[in-house]
Amino acid sequence: MILREMRLFILIWFGQIVSVTGSGLTNFALNIWVYQKTGSVTQFALLVVCNTLPFVFISPVAGVLADRLSRRWLMIISDFCAGLCTLSMALLYTSGRLEIWHIFLATAVSSACLGIQWPTYNASTTLLVPEQHLGRANGMNQLADGFARLVAPILAAILLGIIHLEGIIFIDFATMLFAQIFLLVLSFPEVKAPAIDTQLAKESKKASFLQEALEGFTYLHQRPGLLGVLLFVVIINFLVGVFDVVAIPLALSFASLVIVGTIFSFTCSGIVLGGAAITIWGRWQSYINTIFVSTLFAGVFILGAGLRPSLYLFSVFGFLFFLTVPAVNSSILAILQKKVTPNVQGRVFALQGAIATTSLSLGYAIGGFLADRVFEPLMTPSGLLADSIGQIIGIGAGRGMGLLLIIVGFLAILLTSTAYLYPRLRLVEEELPDVIPGDTPDTTSELAINQLSGAA
């Protein structure tokens, strides 16, 4: 029964998980290539910022496009353009002309394309699956992200020595083409605004593009509880940003490249298991309480990852940290999908994506700068904190980054505890009504599946 009700979504999701894994190979390989070429955590962080910041700038436009145009074709075009950027890097590398700035530019354009695809895909989820399966669908999306994080690092580390960077990029391009097959063959259901929003839709058509872009914020501003939910988008993505930017350099300080890939794969397997658990479980009794509890544990685990200069301790706490990420992200998405009317979801998800990407970028930039310029110097044998904190967590290479993780984890615990005291956030699921239409026709899914079967 579940497979029948979700099979259109599952087919599209399957194409996306293949494409996301290919992109993960390229991202990890480029991160390693840039770090080894420059030896700077700041340069490494700058690449990650280029991979996220354009997402923020394009999001207001992307949200309006997702609510105005065909979501299916937006995904097809944006995904294909991102693939062309990736392919250009492979061609430059093969000809021996690839420079750091080429990677920054191509990564930035790909990020802008993702900024269009991401809110479009998430806004389409409510049209592809019934309300009772939203938690399961979001868990599957987290599972796709976790699978890419699990497989990509160790596979990319191995492939770098066999087919080199250009080979990995060509694989990425091929996985993008595979995902395009499902998007080209299957048709998305059209957005049908509820009757109560007819006047809103008419006014929206008369409004300027800028006014429409701001409508997502206006919608959330009128619902303080949903704005509070976005606070957790900031917290969890900032945590992931700091952890991501610190993890590879920290691990490289006491392990080889292949071991680092293995460690990173193990820690990211937490996302896979967390996403799989949510997919099987289906839905939580309270999404907001799931967010509170999971974020508290996330802070504890990221704090624990920095306590001692131990490869095993870092791996275990890193795994536990990533285990909490799917629960938070899927719960946030489920609340927005249930409480935001479908004809505004593109703009709301664009805003949510912009906030998430901004907090990720802050985590990358601040984490990279503080690691290089502040905490690592403080924790050298002659550093200012060597005789105090250094006696507890150790001194030397990587200990400054460990201290940074401890501080960030403590802040996450403090912010989550404070947020719980805000009643509009704590009661958001009770105070706001569900707006998901219950009449999304199954005939659309049947027709799309039949089209795919006929094409095959």
Domains by residue range for the chain, with CATH: 9-455 (1.20.1250.20)
For the purposes of burial, counting CB atoms within 10 Å of the CB of 434, is it exposed (0-12), middle (13-18) or buried (19 or more)?
Answer: exposed
> Is the confidence at residue 362, as pLDDT, over 90?
no
Sequence length of the chain is 456
For residue 218, give the amino acid letter.
T
> Is the confidence at residue 441, as pLDDT, over 70?
no
- CA 227 from centroid of its chain's CA atoms: 19
* Residues 427, 214: Cα–Cα separation, whole Å: 26
- 342 near 191, Cβ under 8 Å? yes
The encoded tokens of residue 380 equal: 């050298």
CA quadruple 158, 151, 35, 323: dihedral sign:
negative
> Is the confidence at residue 84, as pLDDT, over 70?
yes
- Return the pLDDT at 443: 39
184-200 per-position pLDDT tens digit: 887 766 555 444 444 44
121-158 per-position pLDDT tens digit: 777 777 777 777 777 777 787 777 777 767 777 788 78
- 2 near 136, Cβ under 8 Å? yes
- Return the pLDDT at 118: 72
Confidence class for position 209, pLDDT limits 50, 70, 90: low
* Residues 356, 361: Cα–Cα separation, whole Å: 9
Confidence class for position 440, pLDDT limits 50, 70, 90: very low
Contacts of 93 (CB under 8 A, 6+ apart): 164, 165, 166, 169
Contacts of 84 (CB under 8 A, 6+ apart): none
Region of 396 on the Ramachandran plot (φ > 0 left; ψ -120 to 50 alpha; else beta)? left
> Is the confidence at residue 438, as pLDDT, over 70?
no
> Is the confidence at residue 446, as pLDDT, over 90?
no
- Return the pLDDT at 216: 72
Closest to 48 measured CA to CA, from 357, 361, 328: 361
Max CA pair span of the chain: 72
* Residues 385, 380: Cα–Cα separation, whole Å: 8
User: CA–CA distance from 21 to each of 14, 107, 129, 148, 179 (Å)?
Assistant: 11, 16, 23, 4, 11
- 186 near 451, Cβ under 8 Å? yes
Confidence class for position 341, pLDDT limits 50, 70, 90: confident
Closest to 90 measured CA to CA, from 26, 37, 148, 156: 26
- Return the pLDDT at 455: 38
Closest to 332 measured CA to CA, from 125, 58, 192: 125
* Residues 26, 30: Cα–Cα separation, whole Å: 6
The encoded tokens of residue 206 equal: 């008369």
The encoded tokens of residue 398 equal: 């990587």
12-52 per-position pLDDT tens digit: 888 888 888 888 888 778 777 776 776 666 666 677 677 77
Q: Which residue has the tokens 């091929």?
A: 174
* Residues 113, 81: Cα–Cα separation, whole Å: 7
Percentage of the chain surpassing pLDDT 90? 4
239-256 per-position pLDDT tens digit: 878 877 787 777 776 666
> Is the confidence at residue 399, as pLDDT, over 60?
yes
* Residues 230, 191: Cα–Cα separation, whole Å: 24
Closest to 44 measured CA to CA, from 240, 244, 238: 244
